Amino acid sequence: MLTKKQHELLMLINERLEQTGISPSYDEMKDALGLKSKSGIHRLITGLEERGFIRRLAHRARALEVLKMPGDVAASTPASGDMAGDVGGTGFDAKVIHGNFKSLPGAVPANEVESVELPLYGAIAAGNPIEALRDESNRVSVPASLLGRGEHYALEVDGDSMIEAGIFDGDTALIEHCDSAENGTIVVALIDDEEVTLKRVRRKGASIALEPANKDFETRIFGPDRVRVQGRIVGLMRKY
């Protein structure tokens, strides 16, 4: 099953290939789908590739091949207890169980799920300490189940330095306020009281290393008095 944005992107790529034989650029895809950054397009393409709808051709720029298109889904809904048949002629036999899930013990209707309003302090970007980002007028609603005990806040992720950890540009990071963290934890780190960054922290002797999760970025090493932990990531929210 494709998300709305994945479906829109697949249609765009297929249409452009049929018209010109060349897939659109990432910038063209971004503008057509109304996304803020090309990292969002990267995620959508990866999702389409993982689901077998497209293939990236090696050693060729902007080279995408459409392998299949979404099959037509029957408009009628099967009766309770029926199983959906072959979807889109792909040979996938989708077993769908219908039932009244509200009657299950412990089930909570979606409109009754407890949520928490967290302050959204803006984008985490170089040159802005957390204190400078504080703006209590911006808040975000977060399911309480994503949070533990303690004080939390939210930050918008700006940049691609942590994409290999599944953290992408435009994501909302949920942060538990703390001033220390174990090695390997992804933290909000304040450098020299003026630069804030989201990185994996590792202590090596008397030094502190801030590691990115992207091979295009370098690990930075500082003395222990130059880095202060301002929180650790406990959750992530993403809009498509």
What are the residue numbers of the active site?
161, 199
User: Rounded to whole angstroms, what are the CA distances from 179 to 127, 132, 155, 185, 232?
Assistant: 20, 18, 17, 12, 9
Instruction: State both tokens at 234.
Output: 């406990």
**Exposed e or buried b per residue across 163-173, where buried means at least 16 C-beta atoms within 10 angstroms of its C-beta:** bebebbbbbbb
Residues 6+ apart with CB under 8 A from 227: 189, 190, 191, 201, 208, 210
Residue that the structure tokens 């001033």 belong to: 179
Count CA atoms within 13 Å of residue 135 on its CB side.
13
Among residues 207, 208, 213, the alpha carbon closest in space to that of 186 is found at 213
Q: Are strands 115-124 and 139-143 parallel, antiparallel or unpaired?
A: antiparallel
